[in-house]
Structure 1
Amino acid sequence: MSGNKESSDGGWRKFMWNSEKGEFLGRTGCSWFKIFMFYLIFYGCLAGIFIGTIQALLLTLSNYKPTYQDRVAPPGLSHTPRSDKSEISFKMSDNSTFKKYVDSMNELLLKYDEDRQTAQGKYESCGENPDTYKEQGGLEEGSGQRTSCRFLRKWLGDCSGLTDNTYGFKEGKPCLIVKLNRIVFFRPKGPSNNSTLPEALQGKSYNNLIPVYCKNKRPEDASKIGEIKYFGFGGGFPLQYYPYYGKQLHPNYLQPLVAIQFTNLTIGEDLRIDCRVFGDNIAYSEKDRYMGRFDVKITVNS
């Protein structure tokens, strides 16, 4: 037994270092050098191929515009506050039930404060009436950062948070802030044919404006929603805020907003409301809740 153990220990030690042949772990120094050089060259070539592939890919990408825009097909329409399953439910008498909604609107509108839009060279006045696109060159012209049109939260009237810091929730008249998602160099087009618009919008002029309109989603809710007020640029998105040049060229960009206030919702009812933006190059999809439209369920309890 002891002889076998000594033989076993000696074999292990000899494998670790064989002084007779000058081998470490079964290989001579020359053998270890060759295998080290092989793997060094092998993995060096793999790294070179990987780096070269990435560099070739980067040459095909623009610093200013996404090559592929595979999110929501332009443009998407979103609203604040948002909640799980697009359901907004609260009690007028309990501030804690709508605090999260108020906080999200405060966060959105903070950058729209007038005193945050005074820096020269970053912001400029583009008028208080809808106007045509504000062209500031191409994406690749390298003329520096573009200026942003000012958009003041006071233009949102009763939904600005300046006169009512609960945005109507305390009185059972909740507000929604609506915006189009940012699409680099996208130019929305206003409706050219009024006959395609809802009856309430027909007969009005929408030059340089993309109107927003909300109504009951279910026929049985038609008499339960009451008057809907729109604040901003005539209830739509003015074209002078487009195109958007991206974060690198347009870091101070402010999206135009539309505020919607539901002033006479029936108390205690689950009301499903559908809102849409109307333009010639704006499509809708019932499969995508925010593609050119959204629907939201609002429940006001006393």
Structure 2
Amino acid sequence: MADKNKVAEQYYAPPPDLGKWEGFKIFLWNSETGQFLGRTGSSWAKILLFYLIFYLILVGFFAAMLTIFYQTLDSKMPKWQMDASLIGNNPGLGFRPMPDTDAAVESTLIYYKANDKGSVLKWATVIDDFLKQYQKKGSGSGEVPGAENRVPCSANSAALGEKQVCDVPIDDFHPCTPANQYNYEEAGPCVFLKLNKIFNWTPNPYNNTEDLPANMPDDLKQHIKLVSGKKEANTVWVSCEGENPADVENIGPVQYIPRRGFPSYYYPFTNKEGYLSPLVAVLFEKPRTGVLINIECKAWAKNIFYDRYERRGSVHFELMVDRS
């Protein structure tokens, strides 16, 4: 009777003392328990099914959010425009050729040696690359996308069609042409100006002699006086001057080709395919050589506001032509 009520003693054997390599092999595959990497087949199936469902739900959620987000956007038109946008409604000026930003990110210096063909070719190549978008034929002789929408425009042109945009004929920039290497070899370089794009912005030009700004250059005032009352006066005017008295003395005569500004018929920019920003080639005929010249170019319109320190409505660059 006592033997029946006696609780059987149980003994637990310690796990076998395995080496690192043997323990690792058992972790990879335990033939006794059928475990692979510490889990049985059913355990692996459950956890993989869980993460599969979890990530499918995540992907579906973000796909739904992106779909809703893209429904609020228009590929042709920004949602926020003019004052409501980050760039505002005050266009700035850009210039080409831009210096090599790999050497100095903030550099705005155009420096070259007029008697060095390699130096001249370097800057001419930069302008060539920039003007490729203004050509109607690409490097493979195929038509540039959107080129079929470009039509000749003038101050007397009729209204454009739904897809039409005004062409910018780069053949009218003599002597600032590729064949002439943009006059760099003659120590009278050309710098191209363009007005930065702002969607749906329309200029309010100074098209008569009334209310001209006091700080507008006298030669530009005289030019506006000559075209006052004509359709050609509906232009965003540009002027380039030396920033300091010494720069004014060194800059020399300046020409604006083919005209002294950006005609109003190029605006507004509405993201039509083939649209090109109008250009003005500024020819610095005889800048003093061997001297660094600080130059500031401004855009003039009643709805373009100028601020030198914030570079609003203007652009700054330096020019240095060397003959040695």
Normalised to the residue count of structure 2, the TM-score between the two structures is 0.74
C-alpha distance in structure 2 between counterparts of 1:225 and 1:218, whole Å: 10
Amino acid at match of 1:62: D
**Match among 82, 87, 92 for residue 76 of structure 1:** 92
Look up the match of 1:151. Answer: 168
Look up the match of 2:249. Answer: 223
RMSD over aligned CA atoms reads 3.3
Aligned-residue offset at 1:14: 7.8
**Match among 197, 213, 234 for residue 208 of structure 1:** 234
Residues 206, 234 of structure 2: 8 Å contact kept: no
Look up the match of 2:118. Answer: 96
Q: Does 1:199 align with 2:224?
A: no
Amino acid at match of 1:188: P
Q: Does 1:299 align with 2:320?
A: yes
**Match among 274, 280, 287 for residue 252 of structure 1:** 274
Residues 89, 201 of structure 2: 8 Å contact kept: no
Structure 1 residues 285 and 48, CA gap change in structure 2 (3 angstroms): farther
Look up the match of 1:44. Answer: 56
Structure 2 SS opposite 1:168: helix
Aligned-residue offset at 1:66: 2.9
Residues 3-26 of structure 1: per-residue CA shift (max 9 Å, x gap): 74489948963883354x555444
**Match among 138, 163, 166 for residue 181 of structure 2:** 166
Q: Does 1:243 align with 2:258?
A: no
- CA radius of gyration, larger in: 2
**Match among 199, 204, 207 for residue 184 of structure 1:** 199
Aligned-residue offset at 1:126: 1.3
Aligned length: 282
Look up the match of 1:143. Answer: none
Residues 136, 147 of structure 2: 8 Å contact kept: no
Structure 2 SS opposite 1:273: strand
C-alpha distance in structure 1 between counterparts of 2:42 and 2:129, whole Å: 67
Q: Does 1:106 align with 2:122?
A: no
Normalised to the residue count of structure 1, the TM-score between the two structures is 0.79
Residues 95-149 of structure 1: per-residue CA shift (max 9 Å, x gap): 222221111222333454577899995222212x4779x5656xxxxxxxx2222
Aligned-residue offset at 1:48: 1.6
Residues 200-255 of structure 1: per-residue CA shift (max 9 Å, x gap): 222513732000001110122222222111112x3100111122232xxx232222
Structure 1 residues 251 and 15, CA gap change in structure 2 (3 angstroms): closer
Identity of aligned residues (%): 29
Structure 1 residues 280 and 29, CA gap change in structure 2 (3 angstroms): same
